[in-house]
Amino acid sequence: MCGIVGAVAQRNITPVLVEGLKRLEYRGYDSCGVALHVDGKLQRSRSTSRVADLETQIQSSGMEGFTGIAHTRWATHGAPASHNAHPHFSPTDENARIALVHNGIIENHDELRAELTALGYVFQSQTDTEVIAHLVDHMYTGDLFDTVKMAVKRLHGAYAIAVFAREEPHRVVAARQGSPLIVGVGKGENFVASDAMALAGTTDQIIYLEEGDVVDLQLAKCWIVDAEGRPVDREVKTVHAHTGAAELGPYRHYMQKEIFEQPRVIGDTLEGVTGIMPELFGDGAYKVFHEIDRVLILACGTSYYAGLTAKYWIESVAKVPVAVEIASEYRYRDSVPHPKTLVVTITQSGETADTLAAL
């Protein structure tokens, strides 16, 4: 799972970006990077090592800025390598004017790559993300918000992006489709991230962007339009994310941490619950549960194994037959689910592309 952090402020936001990346380490990653607007130019630092090593790189270079974006990458298109790490620039030389980070998969990246190559753009990576950076640069009108709104219409697939331009300091534009993105609202400063955990300790005022939203973040402005380009107001929620929740602590790795935290997590989830009733699952749940006679669980990776465990429990307790399938296989076949089947999907991040597609 990739992670995004971005910020616009009147202070050096490098510590905010780096700390945000550290809090996203629980997602797993193979490379990371930061880009800043520095003295009218774009500067970046990328690494295939840990975020702590990236932090050392940044401190050694003295990089500081008021506007920037950062990213942790889990390789999909292109091997884990510095030239494939985000942020990506366009053009790719020292005169870069666009910096961009991206979560997700762009399905028509080959078509766009061929189009942009014919226009003279030089690609330095194998990623689908660099395609978006060059596309934004090609379509750039002098107004980044308008440009991104036009550019995302050319993208097929899932994405969450954050981008800033050399000519527009104190401005970050972000957009999402099929991949989560939140906005953090501060006093005279604004932030964007993959989840609220990244901004713990920075702001607790959070906006959850909806499908197709594009947001314009400036110092004292947060302007959102929906998929149709209509201005919208999204609710600002107070989210108390515990800063230590995503830290490794005494554990050797995050899998070990998650294993040992299971009793507490289940206890927290059931706190205040006097009984497992259908109403816990929302309006209409009683009617749905009353009508089903089987369950289908779809998941990938370790979530698939969690589904296998759930199969034993459900069949033992509820006496309802359960089938568990790998979502990446299920999505590509012509399945014929029984009309009285309850379909359950399991995804740790809520972003697993194959699981969402199977659903």
Q: Which residue, 57, 11, 327, is CA-closest to 191?
A: 11
Residues 281, 169 share a domain: no
Single-letter amino acid, residue 273? V
Structural Rg of the chain based on CA atoms = 22
Question: Average pLDDT, stretch 153-167?
Answer: 95
Q: Rounded distance, CA 77 to CA 209, Å? A: 26
Residues 230, 301 share a domain: no
Among 213, 238, 263, give the residue marking a domain's end: 238
Count up the domains in the chain and report the number: 2
Q: Rounded distance, CA 96 to CA 119, Å? A: 16
Kind and range of the H or E run holding 264:
helix 254-270
Is residue 59 one of the residues assigned to a domain? yes
Single-letter amino acid, residue 241? A
Tokens for 315, please give them. 């069949």
pLDDT of 80 higher than 80: no
Residue 177, domain CATH: 3.60.20.10
Taking only the tens place, the pLDDT of each residue in 96-109 is 999 999 998 899 99
Question: Average pLDDT, stretch 6-26?
Answer: 93
pLDDT of amino acid 93: 75
Is residue 254 one of the residues assigned to a domain? no
Residues 283, 202 share a domain: no
Choice among 192-196, 223-227, 242-246 with the minimum mean pLDDT? 242-246
pTM: 0.82
Single-letter amino acid, residue 125? S
Average model confidence (pLDDT) across the chain: 91
Residues 303, 234 share a domain: no
Is residue 282 one of the residues assigned to a domain? yes
Share above pLDDT 90 across residues of the chain, in percent, rounded to a whole number = 66
pLDDT of amino acid 270: 82
Is residue 261 one of the residues assigned to a domain? no
Residues 138, 227 share a domain: yes
Residues 227, 170 share a domain: yes
Residues 164, 217 share a domain: yes
Question: Average pLDDT, stretch 31-42?
Answer: 94
C-alpha distances (whole Å) from 307 to each of 33, 102, 121, 319, 353 are 34, 29, 45, 16, 17
pLDDT band at 95 (very low <50, low <70, confident <90, very high): confident
Could you tell me the strand order of the sheet in which 171-177 lies? Answer: 88-90, 98-106, 157-165, 171-177, 214-218, 221-225, 231-232
Omega of the bond leading into 321 within 30 degrees of 0 (cis): no
Is residue 257 one of the residues assigned to a domain? no
- Please state the φ and ψ torsions of residue 151, each to the nearest 5 degrees: -65, -40
Residue 317, domain CATH: 3.40.50.10490
pLDDT of amino acid 243: 61
pLDDT band at 348 (very low <50, low <70, confident <90, very high): confident
Is residue 248 one of the residues assigned to a domain? no
Kind and range of the H or E run holding 221:
strand 221-225
Taking only the tens place, the pLDDT of each residue in 301-327 is 989 999 999 999 999 999 999 999 999
Residues 146, 91 share a domain: yes
pLDDT of amino acid 258: 84
Q: Under DSSP, is residue 94 helix (H, G, I), strand (E, B) or coil?
A: coil
Question: Average pLDDT, stretch 41-54?
Answer: 92
Range of the domain at 278: 272-358
Is residue 265 one of the residues assigned to a domain? no
Taking only the tens place, the pLDDT of each residue in 256-304 is 988 898 898 888 888 878 777 777 788 888 888 889 999 999 999 989 9
pLDDT of amino acid 78: 74
Among 180, 215, 238, give the residue marking a domain's end: 238
Q: Rounded distance, CA 4 to CA 108, Å? A: 22
Choice among 11-15, 89-93, 132-136, 238-242 with the minimum mean pLDDT? 238-242
Tokens for 356, please give them. 């969402």
Is residue 192 one of the residues assigned to a domain? yes
C-alpha distances (whole Å) from 310 to each of 76, 88, 327, 330 are 29, 41, 16, 18
DSSP secondary structure string for all residues of 23-42:
HTGGG--SEEEEEEEETTEE
pLDDT band at 207 (very low <50, low <70, confident <90, very high): very high
Residues 289, 231 share a domain: no
Residues 280, 231 share a domain: no
Residues 161, 55 share a domain: yes
Residues 277, 228 share a domain: no
Among 187, 213, 238, give the residue marking a domain's end: 238
pLDDT of 90 higher than 90: yes
pLDDT band at 356 (very low <50, low <70, confident <90, very high): confident
